[in-house]
Amino acid sequence: KQEVTQIPAALSVPEGENLVLNCSFTDSAIYNLQWFRQDPGKGLTSLLLIQSSQREQTSGRLNASLDKSSGRSTLYIAASQPGDSATYLCAVLQGAQKLVFGQGTRLTINP
């Protein structure tokens, strides 16, 4: 059974810092890996999607990497801003359409 783990569970940093969120998964037979953002009281928003054959994806200040063989992914956020405060979820796609989520990292950026 696939298990997805995210470390740390919570992170608080001052504005402007670069930071890394970690995600690990136990079964490397995945179709892709996604990073989502969740704001309180709202649904999930997809940030980045990395196909199993890719190593990284970038969008603005966000960069996600994937090492499928070791079962690891990282989300790098450059020059953090208070608006980046949210919970970040990592999810792997297994089978045709089944997303398996980690527990998330609750990020707080302090002004």
Partner 1 sequence: DAGVIQSPRHEVTEMGQEVTLRCKPISGHNSLFWYRQTMMRGLELLIYFNNNVPIDDSGMPEDRFSAKMPNASFSTLKIQPSEPRDSAVYFCASRDAGGPPDTQYFGPGTRLTVL
Q: Which stretch binds partner 1 (CB under 8 A): 12-20, 40-48, 61-69, 74-82?
A: 40-48
Q: Which stretch binds partner 1 (CB under 8 A): 19-27, 64-72, 77-85, 95-103?
A: 95-103
- In angstroms, the first-to-last Cα distance of the chain is 41
Q: Hey, which residues between 56 and 85 contact partner 1 (CB under 8 A)? A: none
- Burial group, residue 63, by CB count within 10 angstroms (0-12, 13-18, 19+): middle
Q: Which of 42, 69, 83, 111 binds partner 1 (CB under 8 A)?
A: 42
Shortest distance (Å) from residue 45 CB to partner 1: 8
Interface with partner 1, residue 11, by CB under 8 A:
no
Encoded tokens for 20: 């890394």
Q: Which amino acid is at 57?
A: Q
Q: Which of 59, 103, 108, 110 binds partner 1 (CB under 8 A)?
A: 103
What is the distance between the alpha carbons of residues 64 and 50, in angstroms, rounded to a whole number? 8
Q: Give rounded-to-5 percent helix, strand, coil for the chain.
A: 5, 60, 40
Interface with partner 1, residue 45, by CB under 8 A:
yes
